[in-house]
Structure 1
């Protein structure tokens, strides 16, 4: 009888331990739910912390900057899934910051608060549908205008460039947008180029007959900016609206948070919106 009672007491504890969610177990679930094979070479790896830590809460974001990390701690989360690098370059290489106080204080904050950070970049783009484009399409309400099933090309009712730019500014909660092109230009064909794919890919998209206006994240000013300005001066019916890297992809990470809720159970999951990187005057 005593043995049965002891077993009855131990069983709930053992079951609870078996059901404990860790960053590693969540990432393993993510690997099962993406539609692509998990790449051997990828930036989608743990960046900081112990992957076998018990999760208190999950925070999903675009950039794990200091303001976001502070919010994570305030919300009692300890596992962060971020789309972009945490330490200022694509591979999060930190040798150059050996004596940098900003890097060291950020690292210290992460370690003191026992935060685990995982980057989810390559595979959210590689899965079908591309989670970043799917989230942006939902946010902007463009689903009925999609023409290529990839979230990159759209055919819309005729619009004027200036009106469209103002519309995007409101939808994305932006302080400002940068527009290259004739403000009175009318168009129906739109290309979406999120993040920072580079000037060559931007120019390739602008060259497509299916694109009159490209909505882009960010670019080097001597590449896409220069090309779009030349196209405008030459009388081409082409334009670019830059909404910034964060806002061109952030709705995709909000989509990611909802996606995670479909298969990660018994753990709070929060989407954290990044604040603007700069102020305007």
Structure 2
């Protein structure tokens, strides 16, 4: 029988890196909510287990959700809410907050198992998040990885596209990823071709590493701190060092990786159906 514990052990066996249950900074992979003895009826992968995702999982008779982000808007109780660093929120939050309590009740009543898989997934030689995003964009033929590294090594972020304007590139991302909240730094008319594509949070250190290679026109990332990497790129554009920065949103940049994870799980789990249910971009924008 495939239980939550058996599923976790299969993942640990197949992930290809020494398993980290708990990092020193508190981040944790494994079963966050539900019983490890629960019989798995189906598996859903998703960026973040919103109540809508959980409802869709239940409706499709799948009781196990494997997510990148935890379900209670928090990573624990050792730091301020903005950046909590352990696998679960403080108990008083889930006990007393009506939103958390309602969500916890839904998880319990429907016998759901919530499993987080991030640190070990990201520790693999091949970056599943990058691969998923590349496939979502159909950019495989534009990828120019360093031959000394795995094709989807996290450092292999360079792509060479046919020349187009920065504005057109942003529009293409919006259409292909079916998103609304694309933000751009740079002249929309600038001609761009050499791209660095990454996912998640862009740090100043990331941009410095990418810019060591000559000829980079634009960086595409999920999001960036508006008082760190954003003004850094504004200054880089003004100085003529790079032509632009495109931020597609954390969810939009990470969600295709959950689709990649679903396909990976299918390679060694055959007893139950596996489905990727995107959490979906949470925003709409004024036109």
Q: How does the TM-score come out when normalised to structure 1?
A: 0.87
CA gap of 1:210–1:147, structure 2 versus 1, over 3 A, is: farther
- Residues 1:133 and 2:118 aligned together: no
Question: RMSD across aligned C-alpha pairs, in angstroms?
Answer: 1.8
Aligned to 2:112: 115
Judging by fraction of residues, say which structure has more helix.
Answer: 1
State the secondary structure of the residue aligned to 2:224: coil
- Are 1:161 and 1:187, in contact at CA under 8 Å, matched by a contact in 2? yes
Aligned pairs (5 A) from 1:38-117: 38-42=19-23, 43-90=28-75, 91-95=86-90, 97=93, 98-117=95-114
Structure 1: distance between partners of 2:32 and 2:88: 10
TM value normalised by structure 2: 0.85
Shift in Å, 1:207: 5.6
* Stretch moving more, 150-159 or 115-124: 150-159
**1:142 to partner: Cα distance:** 1.8
Residues 208-227 of structure 1 aligned to structure 2 (within 5 Å): 208-209=213-214, 211-227=216-232
Question: SS state of the match for residue 144, structure 2?
Answer: coil
Q: Deviations over 1:121-166 (max 9, x none)?
A: 1122122321111111111122222223324222222222111111
Structure 2 Cα separation of the partners of residues 278 and 47 of structure 1: 27
Q: Which residue of 2 aligns with 1:6?
A: none
Find the structure with the greater CA-based Rg.
1
Shift of 1:265: 0.9
Count residues in correspondence. Answer: 262
1:52 CA displacement: 1.4
Deviation of residue 26 (structure 1)? Answer: 1.5
